[in-house]
Amino acid sequence: MTKTAANATDELLCEAAGLRWLAEAEPSGGMHVAGVIDSSPTKLVEERIATGPPSRAAARRIGASLARTHAAGADWFGCPPPACPDATGVGRAATPYVRREHAASSWGAFFAEHRIMYYVRFLRDDGLFGAHETHLLEQVAARVARGDFDAPQPALVAASHVPCARLHGDLWAGNVLYLADRGAPTGGALIDPMAYGGHAETDLAMLQLFGYPYLEDVLAGYDGASPLADGWRERVGVHQLAPLLLHCVLFGEGYLGETLAVARRYR
């Protein structure tokens, strides 16, 4: 599988770094990750994944394997993969990285400033958000920054004594592939990451945003391997605000109604 870019940028190098970083968890039972064969500022060559039909058994293995990938950990909220070039992020407004000297002291402080308000400023400046929409998201961000939705990481992440979880960062259905080998121990494979350090619930919330085959089995497999903190289902919408706001930035008003509806639940 080869990706090319017309102009040399750091995006493909950041993606390659993310693939390699996530793959470090494979020996300890983490998700299989598409292997990087070659990478440059204009080309990324990676392993082609042989895909197969979804199944409940594979979904549970995906959940358990993803929990172990998260438990590999990261050094601070918003940190890039270690081998990532000195870039601000991947794509327009997507996954802005945080330098160590700007690292937040809590998930809420990180998520409020470097996810919610980061995207809100794009939307305000682009004219999609007016005063009402901006104020609504500022109210939510204030609660998030205060720690109202902070929660312990899942059990395996906490037991690893790492500052935060190692996230895929763009965990929608198209980036979690069911494998052709129905007996594969990880059940699936990860592709196309925008990897960074964060809260494990953010990846799980993204997977729930647009649906996934046998989703409840994935979640059950995850919770069985690495129990989630009490109340995690009530926090899903907060974590989904980041991808929803990003979709507003990238695709416009088609996502505006859903984004504002979710935000109203947490203001």
Q: Which of 107, 87, 90, 127 is nearest to 197 (CA)?
A: 107
**Type of residue numbered 3:** K
Torsion of CA 176, 141, 266, 248, to 10 degrees: -50
Q: What is the pTM of this model?
A: 0.95
Q: Are 205 and 236 in contact (CB under 8 A)?
A: yes
Instruction: List, for the chain, all residue ranges whose pLDDT scores fall below the cut of 70.
Output: 86-95
**Type of residue numbered 59:** A
- Count of all residues that appear for the chain in the document: 267
Res 193: pLDDT: 94
* Percentages of the chain per state (helix, strand, coil), in multiples of 5: 50, 10, 40
Res 87: pLDDT: 56
Residues 108, 154: Cα–Cα separation, whole Å: 16
